[in-house]
Structure 1
C-alpha cells in the first residue's frame, strides 16, 4: 500500500484513571481503505484508545485529526456524525425490532411528521446490497438472526452514518468458524469502498489474513507500527509479550507420568457423532481437533450429560458412568470448561468468590462451605488479577474471567477436565497462564481433554491428537505433528469425495 496521507492521525494520546497511567503518548495513523490491526495483551491500552476515538472517554492530552483537520469528540454521537463508528463485542441491538428499525433507531426517516417505514426499509436494503449481503431482510426481527448476522447489522448501522472509519473490537470472538468468512468478506468490501477499518483481535491468523499494517501496544505504550508483510507471527508475539510463540507452550513438568486410564470412551454416539472411542490417561493431555461441525463440542456435551450419548459406554477411573445431567457428571469426577464463558460459564453480575463456588453450591450444597475454603488458595495459584473476592466478574478482563471459570471447576477436585476452547478471546499472556495450569494439572494426575480450533495450541499442548471429521474419528496423531498432517485428516473425507 502506498504511503498516502493518513485519514486518521492520533498523536501523543495520554490517559490515566485514578492516578494509574493506562496510555502514554500513543501515536496512531490509519489510511483510507486500510485494515489496520491494533494488538497487545489485555491491559495494553487497546480498548481505552478505541473509546477515546469513539468519544466514549476523553484523552488527558494529545490530538486527533481527521483528514488533516483537528477534531474532538465529547460523545459517541459526535464521532458518528464525523464518520467514526465502533462495533464493540457487546452488540447494541434491540432484539424485538427489525433490522431496519435497529439501523435507523432514533433517527428514522420521516414524511409529514410520521416515520416513513417504507423509506427506512429501502435505505437499509441499499446498505445491505452495498456490502454484498443478500441473506438478511430489512424487515426481519433481530432476534431471528445468528450472531454473525447481528454483527452484519451493526456494520450496516455504522455505514448508515456514512462511516469513514470503523473500529471492530474482537469481531470474531463469538463467531463460529464458518461465520468468520462472512466477516472477512465484509471487511474486504469496506476496504474496497475506501473505508478504514481499525481491527482489534487476539487471533493472529486474522491479523495476517486481513490487515495491511499492525500497531502494537504494551503496558499502555507504543511498541511499533509495522507492515504485516514485513513481520512474522513469531516476531509479532515477541513484540507483544517479550517471548516467542514456541515459548508460549510450556513443556511437561518434570516428573509428570502417564498413569492409568482415567477416561475411557467406547463406541459412543448420538445424533451428531458416531462410534467414537478413545482413552485419556492420568497426566495426559489429549486434543480433539477438527473443523467446525466435526463433532468436538458434541462429544464434550455428551460426556457431561448436556446431550446424552444414545450408544456406547463411558468409564471414569474404571467405573461406568452415564451422566443424565451436568450435576451427575460432576459427581462422577468430570469437569467441563465451556466454550462461551460469558453465556455458560459465569454469573457476570456476581462476585469472584460467588462464581468460584457456583458448581459447589449446585452439586454439593451441604458440603459447599467446606470445599469453598480452598477458593482463596486456588485463585492465588491462578494469579487472578482482582482487588478482592468481592470484585464483580464483569469488570475483569477476558483472561481473568477465564481464570474464575477454571477456579470454579478446580475446587471440585475433578479427575477428568474437558476444556472446550479454553483460550478463546484472551490475550497471549493469559493463554500462557492457562497452559501452565494445564501442565500443573497433568503433573498432579488429572486427565485433560483439550478441544481447540487453534492448531498451534493443539500441536503445542497435546500428547496425542484425535482428529474428527463429520462426526467420526478420521485419525490419530502424536503431539507435535505439523498443521498439514492435522488438516489432511480433518479434510480427508472431502478429498476422497472430490476424487471419487
Structure 2
C-alpha cells in the first residue's frame, strides 16, 4: 500500500459486510423519497445501485454521506450501528462518495483540488511543492498521469478531467467504503478503461464499493451484486451472475423497453440547416445538412469537437470561414439569442452549468425562453406560466411535487426533461441535443427517445451528439463522425455499425 494509504480501513475478510443501510425511510414533506430500502456493501465487492431517475438513489447516497439523516432505519459500519449528523462525520468514518457533478475550485491547481481539506499548516511555498509532488505520485500510481497534470488550474479542466479530480480526492487515502455516482458520464473510452482498472484494484484491496450507473455494460463488467430501487422502494438485490439485462430493466421500470432504440425509416423534408466549410479555432471545414423530420447524429471520441460544433452553430463560438444556412438562407449568429430567434433550441451537455438556473423553480426554468409570449404589457402572466409548465410536466412525465419545486432538487433525468421542455415550448425548427441522456436511467431514456421521434415526425430537424454508440445508431437517420475537429465520414443508417463509427472516429 502506498504512502497515501489511510488508517481508516480496518482488516476485513473478503465478502464481509462493511457498511449496511437497513429499512431506511426518508420523506420530504408529503413525498416519500425512500421507504423500506436496504443495501449492503461488502469488502472486496462492487455492489451496483440501479433504478430510474427519481427512484431514490441520490437520496440514499446523501444519507450515506451525512447530507441527509434518515427518518427511520439503521446504518451500520463494521458491524456497529452509526449515524452521521453531517458529511464530515461520514468522511472521518472512512466513507467517500464520488459525486456525478464535481465541485472544482477554479483558481487553484489540480494538486490542491485533490488534497483540499487535507493540506497541512506549513508555509505556502513548501506546502505547494509538497502537495504537487504528492499529487504527481498519486496520479501516476492510479493511472491518470498521462490524462491530467498536477499543475493545471481547476478552471482549465475539461469535464472528464474534473471527474478525474473528484475520483482522486476519494481514493488517495484508501477509505473503507467508496461509492461512485455515474463516474463515467463525462469520461472518454481511455479514461473509462483506466477507471475500471482502478476500481478492480480497489476491490482487490478489500475496499467495499458502491456503483451507481445507468449503463448496463458497465454494471455487468464490474458488479458482483446489484440492488434495484423503484419509486423509493427496494425491488431486490441479485448476484450479477443470476440476472441479465432484460431482468434488470423489468425490475427497474416494470415494463419491457426492448424497442427503445427503434425508429422507423423516414422521408425527410426540406433542408433546415446546412453548414458548408465552417471553420474556427475548434472545428475545421465542417459541412453537413439536417432536413425537416430527420434525426442526424454526431459521433466521435472525447475531444473530437462535437460540442464545439453545436456551440458554433448557435453563436457561442464565431464562424471564421464557411457558411451557415437556415432554410436555404445564409445566416450569421452573433449570440445564442440570434439562434433562438431563428428557431433553434439547444440543450447543452453541462445542464447544471449551462442550461438550468438551479435556484429557480421548474416553472421558471421551463418558461425562460418564451417569457415574451406569455407576457402582457411587459408583465409575465402567472396563469399562462402555470399552464405552460404544468402541460410539459404532464407531457414529459417530469417527476416533481409541483411546478414550484426548485430544479436543483430534481433528479438528473428530470432536470434533463426540464431542459427539453424549455425548448419544446419554443416550437423549434431545429433542435440541437448534446448528450441528451447523460446520467439518465433506461426508463427516462426511452421516454426521451420517444420525444425525439415524435418531434421528427412533426417535422422538426434534430441534431444529436451522443457518446453512446447504441444510442446514436438507434436514433439517427444519418451519422456524421468527427475526429480532431473535422468530419471524417458520413454513414447512412443502413451502413452504420459500431465498428464503422470507431474506425472513422480514430481516423
TM-score of the superposed pair, with normalisation by structure 1:
0.83
Hey, what does 2:453 align to over in structure 1?
Answer: 439
What runs of 5+ residues in structure 1 fail to find an aligned partner? 494-500
Greater mean alpha carbon deviation, residues 445-454 or residues 174-183: 174-183
Q: Pick from 222, 237, 246: which aligns with 2:234?
A: 222
Q: Distance in 1 between matches of 2:306 and 2:104?
A: 31
The change in CA–CA distance for 1:144 and 1:188 in structure 2 (over 3 A counts) is farther
Q: Distance in 1 between matches of 2:117 and 2:479?
A: 52
Shift of 1:41: 0.7
The change in CA–CA distance for 1:208 and 1:270 in structure 2 (over 3 A counts) is farther
Shift of 1:145: 4.9
Q: Contact between 1:361 and 1:368, CA under 8 Å: does it hold in 2?
A: no
Greater mean alpha carbon deviation, residues 86-95 or residues 26-35: 86-95
Hey, what does 2:210 align to over in structure 1?
Answer: 198
Q: Distance in 2 between matches of 1:466 and 1:124?
A: 39
Q: CA-atom RMSD, angstroms?
A: 3.6
CA deviations 1:334-377 (Å, max 9, x no partner) are 22221111111111122233323433459999998799767344
Q: Pick from 188, 194, 213: which aligns with 2:200?
A: 188
Hey, what does 1:173 align to over in structure 2?
Answer: 185
Q: Distance in 1 between matches of 2:101 and 2:483?
A: 32
Greater mean alpha carbon deviation, residues 435-444 or residues 306-315: 306-315
The change in CA–CA distance for 1:370 and 1:139 in structure 2 (over 3 A counts) is closer
Q: Distance in 2 between matches of 1:119 and 1:485?
A: 47
Q: Distance in 2 between matches of 1:153 and 1:293?
A: 18
Greater mean alpha carbon deviation, residues 115-124 or residues 128-137: 115-124
Hey, what does 1:497 align to over in structure 2?
Answer: none
Greater mean alpha carbon deviation, residues 74-83 or residues 395-404: 74-83
Q: In the alignment, is residue 50 of structure 1 matched against residue 61 of structure 2?
A: yes
Q: Distance in 1 between matches of 2:483 and 2:152?
A: 34
Q: Contact between 1:339 and 1:421, CA under 8 Å: does it hold in 2?
A: yes
Shift of 1:105: 5.3
Hey, what does 2:475 align to over in structure 1?
Answer: 461
Hey, what does 2:418 align to over in structure 1?
Answer: 404
TM-score of the superposed pair, with normalisation by structure 2:
0.82
After superposition, residues 21-32 of structure 1 pair within 5 angstroms as 21-32=32-43
Hey, what does 2:490 align to over in structure 1?
Answer: 475
Greater mean alpha carbon deviation, residues 339-348 or residues 349-358: 349-358
Shift of 1:163: 0.8
Q: Contact between 1:217 and 1:240, CA under 8 Å: does it hold in 2?
A: yes
Q: Contact between 2:188 and 2:301, CA under 8 Å: does it hold in 1?
A: no
Q: Contact between 1:10 and 1:65, CA under 8 Å: does it hold in 2?
A: yes
After superposition, residues 129-140 of structure 1 pair within 5 angstroms as 131-134=142-145
Q: Distance in 1 between matches of 2:221 and 2:303?
A: 22
The change in CA–CA distance for 1:262 and 1:32 in structure 2 (over 3 A counts) is same
What runs of 5+ residues in structure 2 fail to find an aligned partner? 1-12
Aligned residues: 487
Hey, what does 1:487 align to over in structure 2?
Answer: 502
